[in-house]
Structure 1
């Protein structure tokens, strides 16, 4: 019979240490692998942990190898082995699916405004990149735009077939790299294609697409005429054009004013000329300069209101379009307070309006006359029209329809295209097509209107890009990020709350109990 002392010694035998050694070995291995994954480097700490784990497991096996072999070859080991094989197979399948997902990314955008989907035009820009583009974003780690910007860049990378690559540099954590790149402010994004660079401070889809297009072509220049009562381009009063000037410059246009009296001709570097809300007449020599410009394939946007003294009829007569001077009144499609503020929700078929879905407001507009059959070699498209019940008010005293007033629908904006082979006056062949857009409401793009109706800016920028033959920038606009609030009743909120911490766990327990009951 064994003595108490011998039993006590047997309790502290080496055999009793095997389980703690196995536990320490497994812990060391798992901790070492975890440290390796977290650090991203097989450094000193992961090596020590894994080495200790291997050592403890080796001691565990060396103390009783027969017992280890019996456990590995027994029925329990067989069941455990099957489980491990199934788990390994599941991990392999998940890994394979993850690889496929990283190479062939697809996502389903269920938002009402397709907020997380690139526009068709942005996709075309990405797919048409002629050379590899490197995007370097100097954003701090605390910049709230970083995650969304990275998602966008990833979409562009996939659409470009890998031609677009990107990297993020924190200028606060790595200031030397920012200084070497010439970055003076955080939030700068550098786009580089070969030896060409384009800097941007925006992180929206519009900013990315515009920067990519800018890499492919030089900056274009838009001249705004001056000296005829045009709206101020640098002012930010309600009626000024400061906001639209900034917007067109973001579309890679340089802007400048043009005094045709002193210049005597449209400069050779003009991509387009804009008559922005002129109220006084042009001199004959000014109109001659504009006419020569158009006959040579020039581009013109004319924005003239109903009370303007600016008469462009002789300049536009060869295109058979013109400003009537009447005030369009539309009781059916207007704001409730004023039938002279026409609301447009549908547009003519044209590149300018092909993807325009926003409302546009035309305050105090005059209608534009155009022929039912365009002259040979030309296309004339009404972009926006009033309703059938509208009319062009000719009375200066009151808003009252008269039998002689023009009847709706009336054109408020018209696009004219004359082919390269058809100069409007001489018929001489030109190397570029003439393009015109006529708009009958100077307040369409005033600071006040743009603040209230974003669609007005979209329409004008589309027109400016089309006139300058920059069709690839049309409709690349920031998505609508209008907040959409989900309102829940008290019952619905309780259902969601209790489902998360009560009903779902109870369902799992019930399933487990059912399995136990069937196997007992």
Structure 2
């Protein structure tokens, strides 16, 4: 019997089989142990293209510089937590030494909700409450997502707004600062409400007020930005003087003009003071890659600037229907710098004959390229220099509204918000944008298609077949 046992143990196939079984069992045990160890390590890697679950450098700076405790209350009934939102909030809790995240069941804590609800208001489930020492802000559930409306008026979720909203709220409860936009009125200007973006700006922590300079002695000192939106009538010399004084003393301003017969007479007077003139006619683009639907709906090239950088990073276009060119006059103050933001291609032209409906270049047209938007900036380098100021000039204003058949264009809104952030730079302004859910489709050339098909359909199966055959031949004689 011992001899038969020895002969069995000397059997090569049995030994190799036992060796293989032992190796397989050891490998499985090792993988189980490794998995248990990895689960204990709080390491997460955000592999989403737009870094949906990662915090920006500006937010990290805000969190590390917090000098007072901030509590984040996430209001979710048990079992109904939004995982995607909680993962972002947990990053605030992890990175911010002064931030404490609490997940609260609103049904079990009505007293807490009553403390933060305004008179006649209700704090809804899914909302986030940001509380500091003396201030708090409630972020409603719907404001945590970037929502745009299509031409039929139906809402579409295009991105996530958790980081912009929460970081703005933390900035507010810790500093008390809210930027304020004054809209010039009295000359037929469009309002932010008419563009349909006033509520969105208020959700971005902006305060908005109308300003009639005929009834006001000056632009108020608490103005973060003065908005001059396509004035259709002349602005009086006295009003212009008040605007110039505000800007010269370090003010920030956005001037938008449209083609309305005589292009925005009020806007013309303001722009001339900073070396810009409203060009003749309206812009048409011949490069099919730089317009949508019609040559009149120009998608200008984004020039290199801090305002356009977020749009370039997120692959967003600005669409400017019936835009007018803004031209340098050569009469700007020596201390002022002009920088182009939006430009047509060299194939564009400006149509000067408004009666001519041709979509082709005419003899009377002015060839491009044409600049649609500029920044005007005076920097302060040393003590004794005049105060620094910033102005953004855009040869279009209707781009902020709904553009049929697309509705509101995300790139247009983000361009405006980025301009506001640039103007407010250095004034405790949070300039974080929503993170888009948009996923760029994979586009393959015919060569790439055949190459990948050959690798997947032929090369990989053939390699596996050859390796399997070699192993079988070697093991056949064991």
TM-score above 0.5? yes
The structure with more radius of gyration: 1
SS in 2 for 1:444: helix
Correspondence 1:33-44 to 2 at 5 A: none
Shift of 1:375: 4.9
Correspondence 1:285-364 to 2 at 5 A: 285-307=238-260, 308-332=263-287, 333-344=289-300, 346-357=301-312, 358-364=316-322
Distance of aligned partners of 1:405 and 1:193 in 2 relative to their CA distance in 1, 3 Å threshold = same
Residue aligning to 1:174: 109
Correspondence 1:77-476 to 2 at 5 A: 97-99=38-40, 101-102=41-42, 105-109=43-47, 111-141=48-78, 143=80, 146-160=82-96, 162-182=97-117, 184-186=122-124, 187-201=126-140, 202-203=143-144, 204-217=162-175, 218-234=177-193, 240-241=194-195, 243-307=196-260, 308-332=263-287, 333-344=289-300, 346-357=301-312, 358-370=316-328, 375-398=333-356, 399=358, 401=361, 405-420=365-380, 429-430=385-386, 432-448=387-403, 451-469=407-425, 476=432
Structure 2: runs of 5 or more not aligned:
1-25, 145-161, 443-478
Shift of 1:193: 2.9
C-alpha distance in 2 between matches for 1:251 and 1:180: 23
Distance of aligned partners of 1:311 and 1:474 in 2 relative to their CA distance in 1, 3 Å threshold = same
Shift of 1:309: 3.9
Q: Does the CA-based 8 Å contact 1:328-1:340 persist in structure 2?
A: yes
Q: Does the CA-based 8 Å contact 2:231-2:266 persist in structure 1?
A: no
Distance of aligned partners of 1:376 and 1:143 in 2 relative to their CA distance in 1, 3 Å threshold = farther
Whose RCO is larger (CA < 8 A, sep 6+)? 2
Instruction: Provide the alpha-carbon RMSD of the alignment.
Output: 3.6
Cα deviation code 1:253-293 (max 9, x no counterpart) = 11011111111421222111101122221122111111111
SS in 2 for 1:415: strand
Distance of aligned partners of 1:180 and 1:208 in 2 relative to their CA distance in 1, 3 Å threshold = closer
Q: Does the CA-based 8 Å contact 2:214-2:239 persist in structure 1?
A: yes
SS in 2 for 1:261: coil
Q: Does the CA-based 8 Å contact 2:348-2:369 persist in structure 1?
A: yes
Correspondence 1:13-52 to 2 at 5 A: none
Distance of aligned partners of 1:359 and 1:130 in 2 relative to their CA distance in 1, 3 Å threshold = farther
Shift of 1:463: 0.7
Using the size of structure 2 for normalisation, the TM-score is 0.71
C-alpha distance in 2 between matches for 1:266 and 1:107: 48
SS in 2 for 1:338: coil
Structure 1: runs of 5 or more not aligned:
1-84, 235-239, 487-520
Structure richer in helix, relative to its length: 1
C-alpha distance in 1 between matches for 2:78 and 2:221: 46
Q: Does the CA-based 8 Å contact 1:341-1:363 persist in structure 2?
A: yes
Distance of aligned partners of 1:351 and 1:256 in 2 relative to their CA distance in 1, 3 Å threshold = same
Cα deviation code 1:339-387 (max 9, x no counterpart) = 111013x412222112213111000000111368975433321111011
